[in-house]
Amino acid sequence: MTNQAKKRLWKRRLSRVGLYSLVALILIWTLAPFTWLFLTSISTQAKLNAIPIQWLPNPPTFEHYLAMFDPANETGKLFLAAMRNSLLIAMTTTVVCLIIGVPAAYALSRFVFPARNIIIIAMLATRLLPTVALVVPFYIIIVGYIDPVVGMFDTPHNLIILYTSFIIGLVVWIMRGYFATIPRDLEEQAMVDGATRLEAFWHIVLPLTVPGLVTTGLLAFLLAWDEFLLALIFSRTPNAFTMPYFVFIVGSSQYYQSPAAVAAGGFLAALPPVVLALIFQNRLVSGLTAGAVKG
């Protein structure tokens, strides 16, 4: 082997080493904090207070997880209520947003009519408007005017309605993009053959957009699951409070027990979205590319 060739070989090996070290660095940085959350959650108090720091719990304990699922336990009661509320609220919000948003998205992608562009921009605006700009009027309307007539404050349906306000725009916006990729000829052909618009939409267009519906529904679910500010203001009791609210109070109020309990609660709150995201990783990235959603 000539000197030149040797040099080139070494250069290539070196750049491979560099590449793999960078990848390792990225991977460690991405996974380490979440791993620490899990390690904390299975630690005893003695391990958590050890100096110098003890990285791995030895032996691990699952008592904090068991406590979460124990209805007789004070924290467990709150956790189970929060989990139930979060599932109920996030799933209902997703379904409501899809039922209302998908037909609207279809109409906006297919028909020309006056004010069409204004509606599109208004939908985008609802997506972009920060929740904090709406909480004050929401609070006054709900506490001052609606609650004295029908119970609203601290109920799941209140949160579902409010969550719809910022998720519907996302659904319309992303689904409009998906409908735009479906060729019109398909429906037109069906309608020439005697199908109505509704039939063409239901039997031909909608089945073709199932991947889009799944992605959009998933994003809507994740957004609803993640929401904190509205849950903080509009829930007080296990009647309506959600997982983020639970993770908040379990770490900083009279419910506080130990860092390990906070970590266990946090880990369980993160589990459903993390598992969903890992399973549907590819779909989510394409959905985010289409809607460039949340951060």
Binders in 9-68 for another protein, by CB under 8 A: 19-20, 22-23, 26-27, 29-31, 33-34, 36-37, 40, 48-55
Task: By CB under 8 A, tell whether 91 contacts another protein.
Answer: no
Q: In terms of CB distance, is 3 or 280 closer to another protein?
A: 280
Question: Which of residues 76, 77, 91, 226 is near another protein by CB under 8 A?
Answer: 226
Name the segment binding another protein (CB under 8 A); options: 6-14, 59-67, 68-76, 224-232: 224-232
Q: Closest Cα partner for 244 from 234, 229, 259? A: 229
Which residue of 70, 103, 204, 208 would you call a contact of another protein, by CB under 8 A? Answer: 103
Binding span for another protein by CB under 8 A among 3-11, 76-84, 204-212, 281-289: 281-289
258 scored as a contact of another protein (CB under 8 A): no
Dihedral over alpha carbons 93, 83, 40, 279 (to 10 degrees): -50
Q: Which of residues 181-210 bind another protein (CB under 8 A)?
A: 181, 184, 188, 196-198, 201
The alpha carbon dihedral of 147, 150, 156, 159 has a sign of negative
Per CB under 8 A, does 262 bind another protein?
yes
Which of 44, 61, 73, 126 touches another protein (CB under 8 A)?
126
Neighbouring CB atoms inside 10 A of 159's CB total 27
* Neighbour tally for 146: CB within 10 Å: 13
Contact with another protein (CB under 8 A) among 1, 4, 5, 148? 148
Binding window for another protein (CB under 8 A); candidates: 66-74, 77-85, 167-175, 202-210: 167-175
252 binds another protein (CB under 8 A): yes
Per residue in 26-41, is it b (16+ CB within 10 Å) or e — as a string?
eeeeeeeeeeeebbbb
**CB 109, CB 119: distance < 8 Å:** no
Pick from 232, 242, 241, 240: nearest CA to 273: 242
How many alpha carbons lie under 13 Å from residue 98 in its C-beta half-sphere?
19
Is position 73 an interface residue for another protein (rule: CB under 8 A)? Answer: no
What number of chain residues touch another protein (CB under 8 A)?
117
Q: Which is nearer to another protein, 27 or 210 (CB)?
A: 27
For residue 274, give the nearest of 214, 213, 231, 225 by alpha carbon.
225
Nearer to another protein, 6 or 196 (CB): 196
We find the least distance from the C-beta atom of residue 4 to another protein, in angstroms, to be 20
Identified binder of another protein from the candidate list 17, 56, 66, 129, rule CB under 8 A? 129
Among 95, 104, 195, 208, binds another protein (CB under 8 A): 104
- Helix and strand counts by DSSP (H, E) for the chain: 15, 0
